[in-house]
Each structure stands twice: as C-alpha cells, then as structure tokens.
Amino acid sequence: MTLITIRSSILAAPLFLFLSALLFLSPGKSWAQPTGSLTGQVVTADGTPSTDAEVRITDLSRRTTVDGSGAFMFQNLIPGSYVVEANSLRSGRTTVRVDIRPGETTQVRLELDPLFRLDELVVSAGPASVQRSESYQPTSALTGLDLAKAVQSSLGETLAGEPGVASTYNGPGASRPLIRGLGGDRVRVLEGGVGSGDVSAQGPDHAVSLEPLAAVRIEVIRGAATLLYGSSAVGGIVNVLDKRIPRELPGSGVSGSVTALGGTVADERTGAFELNGSLGGRFAWHLSGLDRGTEDYNIPGFAEREHDHEHDHEHEGEHHDDEEEEVEGVLANSAVETTRGAFGVSWIGGSGFLGVSVSGLDSDYGVPGHEHAHEHEHEHEEEGENEEEHGEEGVTINLEQRRIDLEGAWRFGGGAVKGLKGRFGVADYEHTEFEEGAVGTRFQNEQWEGRLELQHALSESMVGAAGVQVSGRDFEALGEEAFVPPSTSLSYAGFVYEEFRSGDVRYQLGARGEFQQMEQKTAGYEEDHVGFSASGGLSWTPSERLGLAVSLARSVKLPSLEELFSDGPHIATGAYEIGDLDLDPESAYSMDATLRLSHGTFRSELTGFLNLFNGFIYQEYTGGEEDGLPILQFTQADARFVGFEAALEFDLIHRGRHHLLVEGWGDYVRAELTDEDQNLPRIPPLRLGTGLRYDGGAFKGDLGLTRAAKQDRVSPFEEETEGYTLLNGSIGYRIFTGGLTHDIVLQGRNLTDQEARPHTSFIKELAPLPGREVRLLYRVYF
C-alpha cells in the first residue's frame, strides 16, 4: 500500500483553493492594527502562586509559562474575546474568558482546580473556542490523565462512560460511539475537524481508524451539529484532537511524553511516545508513535448467553461441535494488534500558523461471535464446505490507513474580517477481511475533505463565521461480502454562523446548504440530493450561579452510499442488506434545553432533548431470506427520540492540598417509530452513575459505580437485555524528579467480574464485555 494515493483530478481543486486562500489572505506580517496585552497570575486552590503552569490562548496559537511568582504576560494580542486556559501538572487546570481591547492591558487571576471537569475548554462547538458552560449545546471533553485512564483500544469504548454516549461494541477492535441512541453516519467522527476517512459507519465490525491514546483531547457535541460539520452530523460529533500538526511554538529544547500500559484481562501491552520541538524560532515539529497488543480477553462464564447453556445441560451429552469447542472464561477471536505513527511540521507566525502532517495506522483485530454466522450461512448451502473448518479461526480484519493533513489559521484583527482557518485531509484506507485465514472481502476507500472558515465581527457584539466544505469519496469492495457496489460521492456545502450579545444573553443563528452527488460505478447510476439546515440558540447567564441554554435546529441528512446501494450479505449483522434508490433526504427537528447551576461547592448540568424525524432512514427485517440470511431492508418512517442527560458534582473537602468530591450522572433515551408505534432497535437503556474523586497533591484516586438498566423496550425480532452494574476505580501517584514528571496509576475495571451485555451491540448474545481487569499505567513527561 503506497503512502497516499492522490488522484490529481479529484484533489487539485480543493487543495488549490485551500492553499491559495491561506497564502493570499495571510500576509507575511499582521495587518497594521492596535493590539492589546494580557497579564495575570496563576495560583493554586489554596491561593499560593503556581510555579509550573502553562498558560494558553488556543484561538491565537499562543502559549507561555509562569515565572516564580506565578505571573505571566502576553503582548501584541489581536483584540477580541478569548478563552484562556492554565494547566499545571502539580495543581490542576482552569479556564476563563477575557476581552482584549486595543491599546489596553487586561489583567486576570487564574485559580487552578485539581478536580476540573464541568467547565472544560471546547474547540468544536463553534467557530471559536468556548468554555463548556458557554456552549449552546451540551458538550463534554476528555483530556490529560482523565483521557489516559478512560482509553480503550476503540473509540466507542473510550467514550462509553460519558453522559449521552454509548458504544456499538463489536469486540475490542471495532466499537463506534453512539450519541443519544443515534449511530452510523448520523454521528460524525472527526480528526481535527475533518472526516476520519474510514468505513466505520458502514458496519459494526469496521473499526474507527483513530487511536484514542494518541489524542490530547476528545470532544463530544451532543445533538445536531450539521450546521458546521455536514449532513451526517444529525446526532452529533466526536472530534479527536492531537498534536500531529503543531499550532504553537513549544518551549526550549525537546518536550514530550512516554507511556506504558499493561492490563490483565487481555494480557495488554501498549507503548506510546510523543516528541515536540522547534527549529529556527519559526518552525515546530511533532513525532509520535504507538504499539498495542492484546490477546483474547477474559469473560465471566461463557460467551453465549447463559440461557443457551442451561438448555444444553438439560440434554447432557448432546452438545454440538461448536459448543464443545467454546471455552469458559475467554472470548475467542478478540485479540487486537495496532501500530500508529505520525510526523508533522508547522510554520508559526505572530498571528497564525500553517502546517502539514503524514500519519499511518495499521490494525489487526478479531471479530468475535461470527463463527456462528458462518455456520448458519453454510447450513443453507447444498454442497457447503466443512463447517468445523469455518469455526476454527473466525473472521479477522487487517486495516491500513495512510493520511496527509494540512491545517492553517490566521488572525487578522482590525475591521470586519477577524481571521481565517482551514483544514484539509486526504486518506487512503483499506481493510481486508479474512475468513478462516483466507481473503474474504477487501474494502478500499479513498476520501478527502477540506473546510475553510472566515471569521468576522460586524460589530463588537456581533461575531460569526462563513465557510465552505468540500469532500469526495471513492469506495470499492471486492469479495464475498461486497454488499455495497463500487461507488463515488462528491459533496459541496456552504454555511454561515452568527452570534449576537446583549447584556447577559447571547443569541446564535446559522444556516447551511449542501449538494451531494453519488454514482454507482458498475451500473452508471447517479443520484443527486440537496439539503438545507438551520439552527438557532439562546444562552442566558444572569449570574455565575445560573445558566440556561436552548437550541433549535432543522437538520437534513442526505442518504449515504450504503443506504442507497447495498445489495449483499453482511456477516457483521448476520443479514442480507438491501438499499433503496428511492430514499429521500431525512429531515429532523431538534430541541435541546440545558440548565446549569453552580453555588459554592455544588455544580450541575441537566439537559432535555427532543428529536422529531421525518423520513427516518433505518433497517427493517422483511421476514424473507437471501443466501440463507434474513433480509435487512433500508426504509423510511417518521420517528421520535426523547430523553435527558444529567451531571453533578459536590465538593466534600476542598481545603489545602486535600480535595474530595462526589459526582453523579445519568442518561436516558426513548426512540420509536411514531406511525407504527414501534420501538427502534439497539437503543441504550437508562444509565445511572455515581462516584468519588480525590486529589491530595501527589496522590489521586477515584471510585465509580455505573448501573445500566434492563432494556425491555425492543423492536420486532430483537431480544431483551438484562441490566448490569460495573464497579471501576483507580489510585495514582505523581512524582516530580528534576525536569521529569512521573504518573503511576493502578486501575481496576469491572471489579465484581459481572457479566455485561450492552443492548446496543449486534453481537450481545455472543460477546459480553470483558471481565475483571487490573491495569497499570505509567507516563513520564519531560
């Protein structure tokens, strides 16, 4: 596989537009304009100066470190409103919004919080960075040590503990996030703001080509995000951010980290490193790598549901061959091997940057549970192959992806035009599915996407952005499971986003138009669709104690290649999938209302949501069979999704170096077809969680309990799923030696070794979650 296959006829136009806009609109020096300054002090929770904090203005790509008294200064800042973030490995982090005015010096005091979660910096919620409390839509972000402790081998499982987020769980190698019960292409998975370039939305056994441990932060926007990110973001977005393209100059010398991770449940062994440096005072570079290996993981009991085995024991001695081979306590064919590498370099100017990166990811993983699907399929063949042979190795997938990414941003200041930022990525993706060691199906996906945003300020109280987004995809599948014929797609979109401020109230309005053209190459069939989306929002913050945000949106999702052109067996779903060329664009009317309360030691956030779909595209069993498999037909009907998410924190101890808080969270979604009064399949049940978190300076710990209720609101042909409770915890110690910082964390997951089968999984009857695990994480920063 070559590093990148670039078809000049496809890529020349958007690449030219991207580079031309940045080069011609970004002069060598900042436009002549009055600037401002920012000075301040960073202090710890007990009021003493922090001596190791970094202070960062993300939207300006500026960073600095404090002196011995905790003081810092930024000069020559372009006037505007920015979120400033301070971070200390010793004392925690915090964010605050500041206004920079021309010719003036703004002063600020930043108090670090060692247990900081509910007001994270979020960069994906709009054209500029915001604090979580400022967002019109509910958001969450994982970063730092919290992210390192949450990391799993798949993106879906990494985020499955966040409110409103579940996982498709198809084994540890392939699990994609679900947001409020919506998945597939309704949840856009982004890499730095553009598509991940894989085929994970096409099937539950297809992995997301992102490595969570390589990220510096992962952000989740819950609710319709079509305005900024495209028609397939009706359910929300997951944006994975890393340092592969440097956006600011690092400190002197080379900085970075090395991580080692080991776990007992699957004999995990993972190593990763990251290096960052500068050249010549204007160039910054990044180099990172990762290697992960796991064996088949341990489970409590048998892989198949217990009632199947109870039935077997009634007929002792009459076991089938596949049941005799099943080993208690281990999920067969669940091993994972992953390697990743990335290199990037950027030119950093006084008001912006321009950078490029190359990266690659290889993964070999098993797809558990599908020996049974093969046996079922071959039972219907008149002269099939030996079934025992097909059950020995199962299905494994070898995935390879190579990417080139470009990113740039420039702040102009002065006048109506404030800045320009853009991102362009091209990915060459291929994965091969091996069945019993032989090549079964090969999926190839060449995909590119570019976006440009021009930020503006029509007045001091009215700011926004206008942008364009262009993407293309060339997909081909060859082999037994080529259920989608070779197809291409091309999409063009334009959007505008405006925000108005009036006292303690902010208003948001926006609109997006999108054109999509798809072609089924073998038949020469073309399908064109046009969609229009609009949104409005209100954020009222009468005091530091109270905040209310309401957002309304009309979103349009255009049919995907799979929904239009599918026609073939799909072993991951155990069905023969058929598309529908007559599908219309799916429209959704969404409302979110979020109440935020904060008083002294108490903080909370409660969100209610309602999504009404006209022509909701989904798969329905027809009752027929094809090639020995049940038929799943893409069809449309009106649907309703309603639910809530909640999170709260209460400080039990908050003095000196000792900080202890109790937290709780919950989420729920009810999804049904309104015309048929029928439940939709694989909807997550009610979940409730609670826990304690402690920070004592060098010593840290947490203990959490999550309860997933029984799901008995099921669709036709779907089984109910029993509830389960998971107990997780960790203790950690941070050591400072010279210029090094060491984190040692001992984690326990599913400490009660409970059998847990997520209702959202296609293979829940055959593959429970891992059993009890003890993990040891070591990370050194330098």
pLDDT digits (tens, 9 = 90+) for 672-719: 999 888 999 999 999 999 999 999 989 999 999 999 999 999 998 889
Q: What is the pLDDT of residues 209-222, one digit of tens each?
A: 999 999 999 999 99
Question: Has residue 406 got a pLDDT over 90?
Answer: yes
Q: What is the mean pLDDT of residues 246-267?
A: 92
**For residue 226, with 0-12 CB atoms within 10 Å meaning exposed, 13-18 middle and 19 or more buried, which class applies?**
buried
CA angle 34, 35, 38 (to 5 degrees): 155
CB proximity list for 440: less than 8 A, separation 6 or greater: 395, 432, 433, 434, 479, 480, 481
Residue 9 has pLDDT above 50, yes or no: no
**Sequence-distant (≥ 6) Cβ neighbours of residue 306 within 8 angstroms:** 755
For residues 678 and 671, is the Cβ–Cβ distance under 8 A?
A: no
pLDDT in tens, 466-476: 999 999 999 99
Residue found by looking up tokens 């001992």 in the block: 746
Mean pLDDT of the chain: 88
Per residue in 40-52, is it b (16+ CB within 10 Å) or e — as a string?
Answer: bbbbbbeeeebbe
pLDDT tens per residue, range 588-603: 999 999 999 999 889 9
Q: What is the pLDDT of residues 522-563, one digit of tens each?
A: 877 888 999 999 999 999 999 989 999 999 999 989 888 889
Per-residue pLDDT, averaged over 66-91, amounts to 92
Q: What pLDDT is stored for residue 17 in this prediction?
A: 54
> Average pLDDT for residues 559-586, to the nearest whole number?
88
Lowest mean pLDDT among 116-125, 661-670, 730-739: 116-125
* pLDDT of residue 103 exceeding 50: yes
The position carrying tokens 């893409």 is: 634
Tokens linked to 74: 């930024």
The 10 Å CB-count burial string (b at 16+, else e) for 362-398 is: bbbbbbbbbbbbbbebbeeeeeeeebeebbebbbbbb
CA atoms of 124 and 240, how far apart (whole Å): 10
Query: What's the whole-number mean pLDDT along residues 19-35?
Result: 55
Dump pLDDT digits (tens) for 296-317. Answer: 999 999 999 865 444 444 433 4
User: How high is the pLDDT of residue 218?
Assistant: 96
Report whether pLDDT(3) > 60: no
The Cα 169–Cα 762 span in angstroms is: 8
CB–CB of 158/152 below 8 Å?
yes
- Give the pLDDT score at 379: 42
Cα angle 733, 251, 781; round to 5 = 20
* Chain centre distance of CA 353: 25
Higher pLDDT, 325 or 731: 731
Dist. CA 445–CA 201, nearest whole Å: 12
Q: What is the pLDDT of residues 354-391, one digit of tens each?
A: 999 999 999 999 999 865 444 444 443 433 343 333 34
Residue 643 tokens read as 């639910």
Give the integer Cα–Cα distance in Å for 164 and 647: 11
Residues in the chain: 782
Predicted confidence at residue 116, as pLDDT, reads 61
| Cα 541–Cα 181–Cα 192 angle in degrees, nearest 5 | 65
Q: What is the mean pLDDT of residues 422-448?
A: 92
Side by side, the strands of the sheet bearing 139-143 are 139-143, 217-222, 236-241, 187-191, 194-195
DSSP 330: B
In the prediction, which pLDDT does 181 show? 96
pLDDT value at residue 226: 73
CB of 205 closer than 8 Å to CB of 367: yes
Strands 658-673 and 678-679: antiparallel
Output the CA torsion 67→68→69→70 (10° steps). Answer: 50
Mean per-residue pLDDT, 633-651: 96
Query: Which neighbouring-strand residues pair with 366?
Result: 396
Q: Which tops the pLDDT comparison, 107 or 115?
A: 107
User: Mean of the pLDDT values across residues 57-77?
Assistant: 92
Band (120; pLDDT cuts 50, 70, 90): confident
Model confidence at 644: pLDDT above 90: yes
Residue found under tokens 């007929």: 315
Looking at residue 352, its pLDDT comes to 87
Bridge partners for 8 per DSSP: none
Cβ–Cβ < 8 Å for 397, 174: yes
Which pLDDT belongs to residue 252?
73
Contact criterion met (CB below 8 Å) for 399 and 436: no
d(CA 130, CA 120): 9
- Report the alpha-carbon distance of residue 395 to residue 633 in Å, rounded: 24
| Predicted confidence (pLDDT) at residue 156 exceeds the cutoff of 80 | yes
The pLDDT, as a whole number, for residue 548 is: 96
Share of the chain above pLDDT 90, in %: 65
Q: What is the pLDDT of residue 307?
A: 56
**pLDDT of 57 strictly over 50:** yes
Spatial CA neighbour of 637 closest among 715, 711, 691, 531:
715
What is the pLDDT, as a whole number, of residue 414?
Answer: 66
CA pair distance 274, 255, nearest whole angstrom: 8
pLDDT at 15: 54
Which helix (H) or strand (E) segment holds residue 95: the answer is: strand 92-100
Three-state DSSP state, 282: coil
Task: Please tell me the predicted confidence (pLDDT) of residue 78.
Answer: 86
- pLDDT(610) > 50: yes
What span, in angstroms and rounded, lies between the C-alpha atoms of 682 and 660?
A: 37
Instruction: Output the six-digit token pair for 616.
Output: 């909701």
Helix (H, G, I), strand (E, B) or coil at 311: helix
Position 8 pLDDT exceeds 60: no
Which pLDDT value is given to residue 267? 97
158 Rama class: left (phi>0) / alpha (psi -120 to 50) / beta: alpha
Share of the chain above pLDDT 70, in %: 89
Per-residue pLDDT, averaged over 570-594, amounts to 90
Six token digits for residue 107? 């002063």
Q: Which residue has the tokens 């989740």?
A: 220
150 three-class SS: helix
pLDDT for res 484:
85
pLDDT at 231 over 50: yes
Enumerate residues 6+ apart whose C-beta is below 8 A from 172: 152, 153, 154, 157, 266, 294, 297, 334, 336, 365, 770
Which of helix, strand or coil describes residue 156?
A: helix
71-77: strand order across its sheet: 71-77, 36-43, 105-111
Q: Tally the C-alpha atoms within 13 A of residue 689's C-alpha that lie toward its C-beta.
A: 26
Q: Rounded to two decimals, what is the model's pTM?
A: 0.90
- Strands (E) across 656-711 are located at 658-673, 678-679, 687-696, 699-708
The answer to whether the CB of 607 falls within 8 A of the CB of 148 is no
> Which range among 514-518, 716-720, 770-774 has the greatest average pLDDT?
770-774
pLDDT in tens, 146-155: 999 999 999 9
